[in-house]
Copies of this chain bind each other. A is one copy, B any other.
Amino acid sequence: MSVKHMILGILQEAPTHGYNIKKRLYRNILQDFGINDGQLYPALNQLEKEGFITKEVVIQEKGPNRHRYSITPKGSQAFLLWLEGDEDENESVRYDFFRKDRFLLKCNFMHYLEPGLLERKILAQISLGEKKLKDFHNAHASMTHRQVKPHRLQILELGIQLQEARLKWLQGLLEVVKREIK
């Protein structure tokens, strides 16, 4: 499971509580990185049960209690073993770029769409893509400013490049469709 490893990785850096994992640590990469409650809290409880992390309840005068989790040596070891191992590194070979992109799946059948509608759909995709790209650039600026580890920046840069490639492709597609309309 990737979520568990991500949690261990975060706790490897410093102990913290669930809500913080969710909101603080990743909010600047994307507004919400998106570890959802339904997974986060059960995962924390299970990691504790398995002895990978320990819980300490922090009572606050203001607001609800926090459950502060710390990684154990056992958890740390498991995390490093996962990181060093091959797990999850070659499985993306056959499962593809376009199964993950629902719009692309639809594109397989674009010849059934009336050209005007198709054009509008592509334009909508372009504007979504541009919005996302802007988000990425904002995140990049903010991370640069906060002096985040350079390799985290680098990951974001790949995101930007992939997004740019997709946008360029959409623009090309738009041209083709426009030519068909005329």
Contacts and interface: CB of A to CB of B under 8 A. Distances in A.
A161 B165 contact: yes
A45 interface: no
B155 A176 contact: no
A96 B155 contact: no
A58 interface: no
A84 B157 CA distance: 33
Main secondary structure of the interface of A (DSSP, over half): helix
A81 to B, nearest CB: 11
Interface string A118-137: 00010011001001100000
B121 A106 contact: no
Interface in A65-90: 80, 83-84, 88-90
A96 B161 contact: no
B88 A103 contact: yes
8 contacts: A2-B102, A2-B105, A34-B94, A34-B95, A88-B103, A91-B102, A104-B158, A161-B168
